[in-house]
């Protein structure tokens, strides 16, 4: 995946994680969850996105992902959790279509 020259190092890191996640790499899903849960790499703190990525990391077998997902769930509303789960399902459905 080519990254435009005017992007920041943080953008490049996130782009690499997204590319690795598209290949099904559990660590990439987890790293995206960490980035969104802490607001690191200039992504901004977004617990719905963090929950989505931790959920996907857990599905793909990352050992710490379910614990991290549970921790941030304590700070989220039921509606936010439902939205995160919907986004994770969308990712999985799109991934299944790509694989077909």
Question: For 13-60, how does the pLDDT look when each residue is reduced to its tens digit (9 = 90+)?
Answer: 788 988 998 898 999 999 999 999 999 888 889 999 999 999 999 999
Among 25, 26, 16, 86, smallest CA distance to 51 is for 86
Give me the chain's average pLDDT, please: 88
CB 4 within 8 A of CB 36: no
C-alpha of 5 from chain center: 24
The DSSP element (H or E) to which 38 belongs, if any, is helix 26-38
Q: What separation, in Å, do the N-terminal and C-terminal C-alpha atoms of the chain show?
A: 21
Q: pLDDT band for position 9 (50/70/90)?
A: low
| Residue 58, SS3 per DSSP | helix
Among 59, 88, 44, 53, smallest CA distance to 72 is for 53
N residues, the chain? 100
Query: Residue 46 to residues 2, 62, 96: CA-CA distances in angstroms?
Result: 26, 20, 25
The model's pTM:
0.84
């Amino acid at each position: 995946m080519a990254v435009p020259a005017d992007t920041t190092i943080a953008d490049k890191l996130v782009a690499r994680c997204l590319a690795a996640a598209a290949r099904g790499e559990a660590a990439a899903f987890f790293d995206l969850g960490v980035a969104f849960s802490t607001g690191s790499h200039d992504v901004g703190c977004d617990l719905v996105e963090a929950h989505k990525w931790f959920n996907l990391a857990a599905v793909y077998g990352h050992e710490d992902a379910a614990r991290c997902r549970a921790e941030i769930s304590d700070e989220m509303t039921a509606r936010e959790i439902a939205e995160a789960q919907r986004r994770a399902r969308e990712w999985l459905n799109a991934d299944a279509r790509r694989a077909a």
